Amino acid sequence: MRVNSYLVELRREIIEVITGVKNANGSFYWDNSTPNFATKRNLVSLYDKYFSIASKMYGIYKVTRHTSCPNEDSHLMSTEFPTTNEYGLSVQYGDDNFKWTGYQYYQGERECSCPLCPNDKVTKHRVIDDLIYDKSKVVSVNRDELIKALYCILMAIDNSKPKAARSSIRECLLEAVLIINDQILPMPIESFISENSLN
């Protein structure tokens, strides 16, 4: 079985970040643990890099759903949430050609243009960034599991707030590693253990 180099490299880089996430030693001058802002910066860079590759290689995309904008009348009359994306795709919300995974990159207010707002005017309104993938693209990885691992990195980024417990960052990253391990191995580790257990 040929191991997918994308998963191997993603796993390696996540483990590199985990080894740098050590508990702080309070206000001691010898505390050389990595501060949360630096961990967050590293994780954002890692996520952006591997999500970009996943988009090109595996047809995984981030599609923005606009749930409201100042042009409320158009939203009330529309039966669909208008969507935008950075890939030039024509994707309607719930499009059957794509798997809508239920994982979200972001949910909240953002300054951007909504397709229902005249002249592409930029306004502050509520959006949801959905993680989806193209069902028709034949790929060498389980995209549901890959998105789940990438989502764990997003949760680690979210947990990298100033003064937040570093154990929550490690927990999210370790979960991502466990998910990736099962994708790299020829069978899930639990199956391997049950098949090879000594009685």
Q: What's residue 98's pLDDT?
A: 96
User: In the predicted model, is pLDDT for residue 31 greater than 80?
Assistant: no
pLDDT over threshold 50, residue 147: yes
Residue 31 identity:
D
**Over residues 73-102, mean pLDDT:** 84
Mean pLDDT of the chain: 86
Q: Is the pTM for the entire model greater than 0.85? A: no
What is the chain written as a DSSP string? -PPPHHHHHHHHHHHHHHHH-----TT-TT--PPPHHHHHHHHHHHHHHHHHHHHHHH-EEEEEEE---S-HHHHHH-SS--EE-SS-----TT-TTEEEEEEEEEEEEEEEE-TTSGGG-EEEEEEEEEEEEETT---SS-HHHHHHHHHHHHHHHHT--TT--HHHHHHHHHHHHHHHHHHHSSS-HHHHHHHH---
Domain 1-59+141-185, CATH: 1.20.120
The whole-angstrom separation of Cα 170 and Cα 16 is 11
- Which whole number is the average pLDDT over 137-160? 95
Q: Where in the chain is the domain with CATH 1.20.120?
A: 1-59+141-185
